[in-house]
Amino acid sequence: MIKTQLLTEKDIEAAAAILRAGGLVGIPTETVYGLGANGLDPAAVRRIFEAKGRPQDNPLILHIPDPSWLERYCRDVPAAARRLAEQFWPGPLTMILPRRALVPDEVTCGLETVGVRCPDHPVTLAIIRAAGVPVAAPSGNRSGRPSPTCARHMLEDMEGRIQAVVDGGPCGVGVESTIVDLTLPVPRLLRPGGLPLEALEAVLGHVDVDRAVTAPLSPGEKPRAPGMKYRHYAPRAPVTVVTGDGAATAAYIRRQAGANAGVICFTEYQEQFPGCTVRSIGPAGDRGEQARRVFDALRSFDGTPVTAIFAQCPGEEGLGLAVANRLKKAAGFQIVAAEEGEP
Ligand code: TXA
Ligand code: MG
Protein backbone atom coordinates (compact mmCIF):
# COMPACT_ATOMS: atom_id res chain seq x y z
CA MET A 1 0.00 0.00 0.00
CA ILE A 2 1.38 3.38 -1.07
CA LYS A 3 0.83 6.51 1.04
CA THR A 4 -1.03 8.88 -1.32
CA GLN A 5 -0.16 12.55 -0.79
CA LEU A 6 -2.77 15.23 -1.41
CA LEU A 7 -0.92 18.08 -3.16
CA THR A 8 -2.13 21.63 -3.84
CA GLU A 9 -1.93 23.81 -6.94
CA LYS A 10 1.34 25.21 -5.60
CA ASP A 11 3.11 21.84 -5.54
CA ILE A 12 4.00 21.88 -9.24
CA GLU A 13 7.61 20.83 -8.72
CA ALA A 14 6.70 18.02 -6.30
CA ALA A 15 4.22 16.56 -8.81
CA ALA A 16 6.73 16.88 -11.66
CA ALA A 17 9.41 15.13 -9.57
CA ILE A 18 7.10 12.16 -8.94
CA LEU A 19 6.41 11.90 -12.69
CA ARG A 20 10.12 12.08 -13.57
CA ALA A 21 10.83 9.33 -11.03
CA GLY A 22 8.31 6.97 -12.69
CA GLY A 23 5.47 7.48 -10.19
CA LEU A 24 1.75 8.11 -10.66
CA VAL A 25 0.00 11.43 -10.00
CA GLY A 26 -3.68 12.35 -10.19
CA ILE A 27 -3.83 15.53 -12.25
CA PRO A 28 -6.67 18.02 -12.71
CA THR A 29 -7.82 18.82 -16.25
CA GLU A 30 -10.76 20.82 -17.55
CA THR A 31 -12.55 17.58 -18.54
CA VAL A 32 -11.96 15.01 -15.77
CA TYR A 33 -9.06 14.16 -13.45
CA GLY A 34 -6.38 12.05 -15.12
CA LEU A 35 -4.02 9.39 -13.76
CA GLY A 36 -0.69 10.63 -15.08
CA ALA A 37 2.69 8.97 -15.67
CA ASN A 38 5.75 9.78 -17.77
CA GLY A 39 4.49 8.82 -21.23
CA LEU A 40 7.97 7.90 -22.44
CA ASP A 41 8.68 5.49 -19.55
CA PRO A 42 7.23 2.03 -20.29
CA ALA A 43 7.49 0.83 -16.66
CA ALA A 44 5.67 3.94 -15.37
CA VAL A 45 2.94 3.50 -18.00
CA ARG A 46 2.48 -0.16 -16.99
CA ARG A 47 1.81 1.03 -13.42
CA ILE A 48 -1.20 3.02 -14.70
CA PHE A 49 -2.81 -0.20 -15.95
CA GLU A 50 -2.15 -1.90 -12.61
CA ALA A 51 -3.51 0.97 -10.51
CA LYS A 52 -6.70 1.24 -12.58
CA GLY A 53 -7.21 -2.47 -13.22
CA ARG A 54 -7.36 -1.41 -16.90
CA PRO A 55 -7.62 -3.98 -19.71
CA GLN A 56 -4.29 -4.35 -21.53
CA ASP A 57 -5.74 -3.51 -24.96
CA ASN A 58 -7.04 -0.04 -24.07
CA PRO A 59 -4.54 2.66 -25.17
CA LEU A 60 -3.78 5.92 -23.36
CA ILE A 61 -3.86 9.57 -24.40
CA LEU A 62 -0.58 11.54 -24.36
CA HIS A 63 -0.94 15.00 -22.82
CA ILE A 64 1.30 17.79 -24.13
CA PRO A 65 1.71 21.36 -22.86
CA ASP A 66 1.82 23.04 -26.24
CA PRO A 67 0.71 22.28 -29.85
CA SER A 68 4.35 22.53 -30.97
CA TRP A 69 5.00 19.16 -29.24
CA LEU A 70 2.57 17.35 -31.57
CA GLU A 71 5.19 16.60 -34.24
CA ARG A 72 7.49 15.03 -31.64
CA TYR A 73 5.13 12.10 -31.16
CA CYS A 74 3.10 12.05 -34.40
CA ARG A 75 4.10 11.83 -38.06
CA ASP A 76 2.28 12.78 -41.26
CA VAL A 77 0.33 15.42 -39.34
CA PRO A 78 -2.36 16.66 -41.75
CA ALA A 79 -3.22 20.34 -42.16
CA ALA A 80 -6.61 19.56 -40.58
CA ALA A 81 -4.88 18.56 -37.33
CA ARG A 82 -2.97 21.84 -37.26
CA ARG A 83 -6.16 23.79 -37.81
CA LEU A 84 -7.89 21.93 -34.99
CA ALA A 85 -4.96 22.50 -32.62
CA GLU A 86 -4.94 26.20 -33.43
CA GLN A 87 -8.69 26.53 -32.84
CA PHE A 88 -9.29 24.22 -29.89
CA TRP A 89 -6.06 23.66 -27.92
CA PRO A 90 -5.63 23.91 -25.08
CA GLY A 91 -9.03 22.27 -24.77
CA PRO A 92 -11.19 19.13 -24.64
CA LEU A 93 -10.11 17.59 -27.95
CA THR A 94 -8.00 14.44 -28.52
CA MET A 95 -6.66 13.75 -32.01
CA ILE A 96 -5.75 10.25 -33.20
CA LEU A 97 -2.72 10.43 -35.53
CA PRO A 98 0.06 8.12 -36.77
CA ARG A 99 2.59 7.69 -33.97
CA ARG A 100 6.35 8.03 -34.07
CA ALA A 101 8.49 5.09 -32.92
CA LEU A 102 9.57 6.79 -29.66
CA VAL A 103 6.02 6.48 -28.28
CA PRO A 104 6.13 3.26 -26.25
CA ASP A 105 3.86 0.33 -27.17
CA GLU A 106 2.67 0.50 -23.56
CA VAL A 107 0.91 3.80 -24.38
CA THR A 108 -0.67 2.75 -27.69
CA CYS A 109 -1.18 -0.92 -26.81
CA GLY A 110 0.67 -1.74 -30.00
CA LEU A 111 -1.49 0.43 -32.31
CA GLU A 112 0.28 2.43 -35.02
CA THR A 113 -1.64 5.52 -33.93
CA VAL A 114 -1.57 7.64 -30.78
CA GLY A 115 -4.12 9.95 -29.15
CA VAL A 116 -2.74 13.39 -28.24
CA ARG A 117 -4.30 16.26 -26.36
CA CYS A 118 -3.31 19.59 -24.82
CA PRO A 119 -5.46 20.00 -21.68
CA ASP A 120 -6.80 23.40 -20.64
CA HIS A 121 -5.77 23.50 -16.99
CA PRO A 122 -3.00 25.86 -15.83
CA VAL A 123 -1.81 23.57 -13.02
CA THR A 124 -1.46 20.49 -15.21
CA LEU A 125 0.13 22.46 -18.05
CA ALA A 126 2.71 23.74 -15.54
CA ILE A 127 3.31 20.21 -14.17
CA ILE A 128 3.87 18.78 -17.66
CA ARG A 129 6.25 21.61 -18.56
CA ALA A 130 8.16 21.16 -15.29
CA ALA A 131 8.41 17.38 -15.83
CA GLY A 132 9.63 18.00 -19.39
CA VAL A 133 7.92 14.85 -20.72
CA PRO A 134 4.53 14.12 -22.28
CA VAL A 135 2.13 12.69 -19.70
CA ALA A 136 0.16 9.54 -20.48
CA ALA A 137 -3.13 9.80 -18.61
CA PRO A 138 -6.40 7.93 -18.71
CA SER A 139 -9.29 9.18 -16.60
CA GLY A 140 -8.38 8.63 -12.94
CA ASN A 141 -11.17 6.21 -11.99
CA ARG A 142 -10.81 2.50 -11.26
CA SER A 143 -11.65 0.75 -14.52
CA GLY A 144 -15.41 0.64 -15.17
CA ARG A 145 -16.29 3.37 -12.64
CA PRO A 146 -17.57 6.88 -13.39
CA SER A 147 -14.73 9.31 -14.24
CA PRO A 148 -13.51 11.59 -11.40
CA THR A 149 -14.45 15.26 -11.63
CA CYS A 150 -12.86 16.42 -8.35
CA ALA A 151 -9.90 15.42 -6.17
CA ARG A 152 -12.20 13.60 -3.71
CA HIS A 153 -13.43 11.25 -6.46
CA MET A 154 -9.80 10.48 -7.37
CA LEU A 155 -8.96 9.65 -3.78
CA GLU A 156 -12.07 7.43 -3.51
CA ASP A 157 -10.71 5.29 -6.33
CA MET A 158 -6.93 5.62 -6.04
CA GLU A 159 -5.94 6.21 -2.39
CA GLY A 160 -3.18 3.75 -1.51
CA ARG A 161 -2.48 2.96 -5.17
CA ILE A 162 -0.72 6.10 -6.43
CA GLN A 163 1.87 8.54 -5.09
CA ALA A 164 -0.18 11.76 -5.17
CA VAL A 165 -3.30 13.62 -6.23
CA VAL A 166 -3.06 17.31 -7.11
CA ASP A 167 -6.22 19.17 -6.07
CA GLY A 168 -6.93 21.67 -8.84
CA GLY A 169 -10.60 22.17 -7.94
CA PRO A 170 -13.68 20.76 -9.65
CA CYS A 171 -13.47 20.14 -13.42
CA GLY A 172 -15.04 22.91 -15.51
CA VAL A 173 -16.23 20.68 -18.38
CA GLY A 174 -16.97 17.45 -16.51
CA VAL A 175 -17.01 14.93 -19.39
CA GLU A 176 -13.88 13.62 -21.13
CA SER A 177 -12.38 15.04 -24.30
CA THR A 178 -13.92 14.56 -27.73
CA ILE A 179 -11.85 12.02 -29.69
CA VAL A 180 -11.50 12.42 -33.45
CA ASP A 181 -9.61 9.96 -35.66
CA LEU A 182 -7.73 11.86 -38.39
CA THR A 183 -6.09 8.79 -39.95
CA LEU A 184 -9.13 7.88 -42.09
CA PRO A 185 -10.19 9.40 -45.43
CA VAL A 186 -13.13 11.04 -43.60
CA PRO A 187 -12.49 12.19 -40.00
CA ARG A 188 -14.40 10.07 -37.52
CA LEU A 189 -15.77 10.90 -34.07
CA LEU A 190 -14.76 8.00 -31.81
CA ARG A 191 -16.02 9.50 -28.53
CA PRO A 192 -18.25 12.56 -28.05
CA GLY A 193 -16.91 14.82 -25.32
CA GLY A 194 -16.32 18.34 -24.12
CA LEU A 195 -15.94 19.79 -27.62
CA PRO A 196 -19.28 19.55 -29.47
CA LEU A 197 -19.39 17.68 -32.79
CA GLU A 198 -20.84 20.84 -34.35
CA ALA A 199 -17.63 22.75 -33.46
CA LEU A 200 -15.47 20.04 -35.05
CA GLU A 201 -17.58 20.07 -38.20
CA ALA A 202 -17.30 23.85 -38.45
CA VAL A 203 -13.56 23.29 -39.03
CA LEU A 204 -13.46 19.87 -40.73
CA GLY A 205 -16.68 19.74 -42.70
CA HIS A 206 -18.53 16.43 -42.39
CA VAL A 207 -17.34 14.10 -39.61
CA ASP A 208 -18.49 10.46 -39.50
CA VAL A 209 -19.82 9.30 -36.12
CA ASP A 210 -18.54 5.88 -35.07
CA ARG A 211 -21.36 3.43 -34.43
CA ALA A 212 -20.04 2.71 -30.93
CA VAL A 213 -21.05 6.26 -29.91
CA THR A 214 -24.78 5.63 -30.07
CA ALA A 215 -25.33 1.87 -30.17
CA PRO A 216 -24.17 -1.17 -28.22
CA LEU A 217 -21.58 -3.30 -30.01
CA SER A 218 -22.43 -6.77 -31.21
CA PRO A 219 -20.49 -9.56 -29.49
CA GLY A 220 -16.92 -9.67 -30.82
CA GLU A 221 -17.23 -6.34 -32.69
CA LYS A 222 -14.04 -4.22 -32.44
CA PRO A 223 -14.54 -0.44 -32.12
CA ARG A 224 -11.78 1.91 -33.33
CA ALA A 225 -11.45 3.33 -29.80
CA PRO A 226 -10.85 0.11 -27.86
CA GLY A 227 -12.21 1.71 -24.67
CA MET A 228 -15.69 2.02 -26.19
CA LYS A 229 -16.24 -1.73 -25.91
CA TYR A 230 -16.10 -1.86 -22.13
CA ARG A 231 -19.01 -1.29 -19.73
CA HIS A 232 -18.17 2.06 -18.31
CA TYR A 233 -19.18 4.84 -15.97
CA ALA A 234 -21.35 2.38 -14.09
CA PRO A 235 -22.63 2.81 -10.54
CA ARG A 236 -23.18 -0.45 -8.61
CA ALA A 237 -26.97 -0.30 -9.17
CA PRO A 238 -28.20 -0.88 -12.74
CA VAL A 239 -29.18 2.23 -14.73
CA THR A 240 -32.10 2.65 -17.16
CA VAL A 241 -32.04 5.66 -19.49
CA VAL A 242 -35.47 7.04 -20.36
CA THR A 243 -35.66 9.03 -23.60
CA GLY A 244 -38.41 11.43 -24.66
CA ASP A 245 -39.66 14.84 -23.53
CA GLY A 246 -39.25 15.90 -19.91
CA ALA A 247 -42.86 15.49 -18.81
CA ALA A 248 -43.23 12.07 -20.45
CA THR A 249 -39.97 10.74 -19.03
CA ALA A 250 -40.83 12.01 -15.54
CA ALA A 251 -44.24 10.29 -15.75
CA TYR A 252 -42.62 7.06 -16.94
CA ILE A 253 -40.08 7.10 -14.11
CA ARG A 254 -42.79 7.81 -11.48
CA ARG A 255 -44.70 4.74 -12.67
CA GLN A 256 -41.67 2.43 -12.78
CA ALA A 257 -39.71 3.55 -9.73
CA GLY A 258 -40.24 1.12 -6.88
CA ALA A 259 -38.82 1.14 -3.36
CA ASN A 260 -35.11 2.05 -3.26
CA ALA A 261 -35.14 3.70 -6.69
CA GLY A 262 -32.65 6.40 -7.61
CA VAL A 263 -33.45 9.11 -10.15
CA ILE A 264 -31.15 11.32 -12.23
CA CYS A 265 -33.25 14.20 -13.53
CA PHE A 266 -33.33 17.80 -14.68
CA THR A 267 -33.84 20.44 -11.97
CA GLU A 268 -37.38 21.26 -13.18
CA TYR A 269 -38.51 17.73 -12.27
CA GLN A 270 -36.68 17.10 -9.00
CA GLU A 271 -39.80 17.45 -6.79
CA GLN A 272 -41.70 14.86 -8.83
CA PHE A 273 -40.19 11.69 -7.39
CA PRO A 274 -41.23 11.51 -3.72
CA GLY A 275 -39.70 8.55 -1.89
CA CYS A 276 -36.85 8.21 -4.42
CA THR A 277 -33.20 9.20 -4.02
CA VAL A 278 -33.06 12.11 -6.46
CA ARG A 279 -30.02 13.77 -8.09
CA SER A 280 -30.56 16.77 -10.30
CA ILE A 281 -27.95 17.36 -13.01
CA GLY A 282 -29.09 20.92 -13.84
CA PRO A 283 -31.80 22.60 -15.89
CA ALA A 284 -33.11 20.71 -18.95
CA GLY A 285 -31.73 23.40 -21.25
CA ASP A 286 -28.27 23.71 -19.66
CA ARG A 287 -26.12 20.95 -21.16
CA GLY A 288 -22.91 22.50 -19.80
CA GLU A 289 -24.22 22.10 -16.25
CA GLN A 290 -25.42 18.55 -17.03
CA ALA A 291 -21.91 17.66 -18.28
CA ARG A 292 -20.32 19.05 -15.10
CA ARG A 293 -22.67 17.07 -12.84
CA VAL A 294 -23.37 13.76 -14.58
CA PHE A 295 -20.41 11.75 -13.21
CA ASP A 296 -20.88 13.00 -9.64
CA ALA A 297 -24.56 12.03 -9.88
CA LEU A 298 -23.70 8.52 -11.12
CA ARG A 299 -21.13 8.07 -8.34
CA SER A 300 -23.39 9.40 -5.60
CA PHE A 301 -25.66 6.33 -5.47
CA ASP A 302 -22.88 3.98 -4.39
CA GLY A 303 -23.06 3.41 -0.64
CA THR A 304 -26.82 4.24 -0.59
CA PRO A 305 -29.67 1.67 -0.46
CA VAL A 306 -30.57 2.45 -4.11
CA THR A 307 -30.98 -0.75 -6.15
CA ALA A 308 -32.17 0.67 -9.51
CA ILE A 309 -31.48 4.03 -11.15
CA PHE A 310 -33.61 5.80 -13.78
CA ALA A 311 -32.20 8.72 -15.76
CA GLN A 312 -33.74 11.46 -17.86
CA CYS A 313 -31.54 12.09 -20.87
CA PRO A 314 -30.82 15.24 -22.89
CA GLY A 315 -31.18 15.45 -26.67
CA GLU A 316 -28.03 15.02 -28.71
CA GLU A 317 -27.30 18.58 -29.82
CA GLY A 318 -24.10 20.24 -28.53
CA LEU A 319 -22.80 18.75 -25.28
CA GLY A 320 -25.99 16.66 -25.09
CA LEU A 321 -24.35 14.02 -27.32
CA ALA A 322 -21.60 13.47 -24.72
CA VAL A 323 -23.93 13.55 -21.69
CA ALA A 324 -26.35 11.12 -23.36
CA ASN A 325 -23.45 8.83 -24.36
CA ARG A 326 -22.14 8.67 -20.76
CA LEU A 327 -25.61 7.92 -19.38
CA LYS A 328 -26.26 5.25 -22.03
CA LYS A 329 -22.90 3.61 -21.43
CA ALA A 330 -23.51 3.69 -17.67
CA ALA A 331 -26.77 1.90 -18.47
CA GLY A 332 -25.04 -0.67 -20.70
CA PHE A 333 -27.42 0.74 -23.39
CA GLN A 334 -30.49 -0.27 -21.36
CA ILE A 335 -32.71 2.46 -22.90
CA VAL A 336 -36.52 2.86 -22.93
CA ALA A 337 -38.56 5.45 -24.82
CA ALA A 338 -41.36 7.20 -22.88
CA GLU A 339 -44.40 7.79 -25.11
CA GLU A 340 -45.12 11.44 -26.01
CA GLY A 341 -48.14 12.81 -24.17
CA GLU A 342 -48.16 10.13 -21.44
CA PRO A 343 -50.14 11.30 -18.42
O1 TXA B 1 -10.59 14.10 -21.24
C2 TXA B 1 -9.89 13.10 -21.42
O3 TXA B 1 -9.65 12.64 -22.54
C4 TXA B 1 -9.32 12.42 -20.17
C5 TXA B 1 -8.35 13.40 -19.50
C6 TXA B 1 -7.61 12.80 -18.34
O7 TXA B 1 -7.47 13.92 -20.46
N8 TXA B 1 -8.69 11.18 -20.51
C9 TXA B 1 -9.41 10.07 -20.86
O10 TXA B 1 -8.64 8.94 -21.08
O11 TXA B 1 -10.62 10.07 -20.97
P12 TXA B 1 -9.29 7.45 -21.09
O13 TXA B 1 -8.09 6.57 -21.14
O14 TXA B 1 -10.22 7.29 -19.97
O15 TXA B 1 -10.02 7.37 -22.45
C16 TXA B 1 -9.25 7.35 -23.65
C17 TXA B 1 -10.03 6.73 -24.76
C18 TXA B 1 -10.22 5.23 -24.63
O19 TXA B 1 -11.53 4.89 -25.07
C20 TXA B 1 -9.19 4.66 -25.60
O21 TXA B 1 -9.58 3.41 -26.13
C22 TXA B 1 -9.13 5.75 -26.67
O23 TXA B 1 -9.25 6.93 -25.95
N24 TXA B 1 -7.84 5.79 -27.39
C25 TXA B 1 -6.62 6.10 -26.90
N26 TXA B 1 -5.67 5.98 -27.85
C27 TXA B 1 -6.29 5.61 -28.98
C28 TXA B 1 -5.87 5.30 -30.31
N29 TXA B 1 -4.60 5.36 -30.67
N30 TXA B 1 -6.82 4.93 -31.22
C31 TXA B 1 -8.14 4.86 -30.86
N32 TXA B 1 -8.59 5.13 -29.61
C33 TXA B 1 -7.70 5.49 -28.69
MG1 MG C 1 -11.81 6.63 -18.93
Relative to the alpha carbon of 58, which ligand is closest? 1
**Phi, psi for residue 277 in degrees, rounded to 5:** -85, 110
Q: Are strands 25-27 and 34-38 parallel, antiparallel or unpaired?
A: antiparallel
Buried b (16+ CB within 10 A) or exposed e, 33-45: bbbbbbbbbeebb
Q: Is the separation of the CB atoms in 299 and 152 below 8 Å? A: no
Interacting residues of 278 by C-beta distance below 8 A, sequence separation 6+ = 262, 263, 265, 270
Q: What's the pLDDT at 341? A: 53
Report d(CA 296, CA 186) in Å as an integer: 35
H/E stretch holding 189 reads: strand 188-191
Q: Which residues surround ligand 2, an ion (CB under 5 A)?
A: 139
Q: What is the pLDDT of residue 39?
A: 98
What percentage of the chain carries pLDDT values higher than 90? 91
pLDDT of residue 185 exceeding 60: yes
Q: Using most ligand atoms within 8 A of CB, pick from 176, 217, 295 the residue to mutate for ligand 1.
A: 176
Nearest protein CA to atom 6 of ligand 1, as residue: 34
pLDDT in tens, 66-117: 999 999 999 999 999 999 999 999 999 999 999 999 999 999 999 999 999 9
Instruction: Using the mean position of ligand 1's atoms as its centre, give its distance from the Cα of residue 126 in Å.
Output: 21
Q: How far is the CA of 177 from the centre of ligand 2 (A)?
A: 10
Per-residue pLDDT band at 325 (split at 50, 70, 90): very high
Distance CA(282)–CA(284), nearest Å, equals 7
Does ligand 1 have an atom closer than 6 angstroms to the CB of 149?
no
Q: Looking at residue 308, what is its pLDDT?
A: 97
Which of 128-132, 152-156, 335-339 shows the lowest per-residue confidence on average (mean pLDDT)?
Answer: 335-339
Mean pLDDT of 259-280: 97
Question: Ligand 1 in contact with 188 (CB < 6 A)?
Answer: no
- Ligand 1 atom closest to 194 (CA): 1
Q: Which atom of ligand 1 is nearest to the CA of 108?
A: 29
Question: Residue 231: pLDDT band by 50, 70, 90 thresholds?
Answer: confident
Query: pTM for this one?
Result: 0.97
pLDDT, tens digit (0-9, with 9 covering 90-100), for 194-214: 999 999 999 999 999 999 998
Kindly state if the Cβ of 177 falls inside 6 Å of ligand 1.
yes
Q: Is 98 in the pocket of ligand 1 (CB under 6 A)?
A: no
Q: Whose CA is nearest to atom 29 of ligand 1?
A: 114
Which of 121-125, 217-221, 224-228 reaches the highest mean pLDDT? 121-125
Does pLDDT of 14 surpass 90?
Answer: yes
Q: State if residue 146 touches ligand 1 by the CB under 6 angstroms criterion.
A: no
Query: Which pLDDT score is estimated for 17?
Result: 98
| 147 CA distance to ligand 1 middle (Å) | 12
pLDDT value at residue 340: 62
Mean pLDDT, rounded, for 174-203: 98
Res 189 pLDDT > 80: yes
Which of the four pLDDT bands, split at 50, 70 and 90, describes residue 218?
confident
For ligand 1, mutation pick of 139, 195, 213, 229 (most atoms within 8 Å of CB): 139
DSSP string, 291-306: HHHHHHHHHHTTTSS-
- What is the pLDDT, as a whole number, of residue 267? 98
> Looking at the CA of 137, which ligand is closest?
1
Cβ neighbour number for residue 316 with a 10 Å cutoff: 18
- CA-wise closest residue to 148 among 163, 165, 134, 135: 165
What pLDDT sits at residue 106? 98
| 143 Cβ below 6 A of ligand 1 | no
The verdict on the CB of residue 227 being under 6 Å from ligand 1 is: yes
Q: In 18-71, which ranges are E strands? A: 25-27, 34-38, 61-63
Are the beta carbons of 68 and 172 closer than 8 angstroms? no
Q: Ligand 1 in contact with 115 (CB < 6 A)? A: yes
Would you tell me how many other CB atoms lie within 10 Å of the CB of residue 307? Answer: 14
pLDDT of 42 above 90: yes
Nearest CA to ligand 1 atom 3: 177
What is the residue-averaged pLDDT of the chain? Answer: 96
Give tens-digit pLDDT for 245-266: 999 999 999 999 998 999 999 9
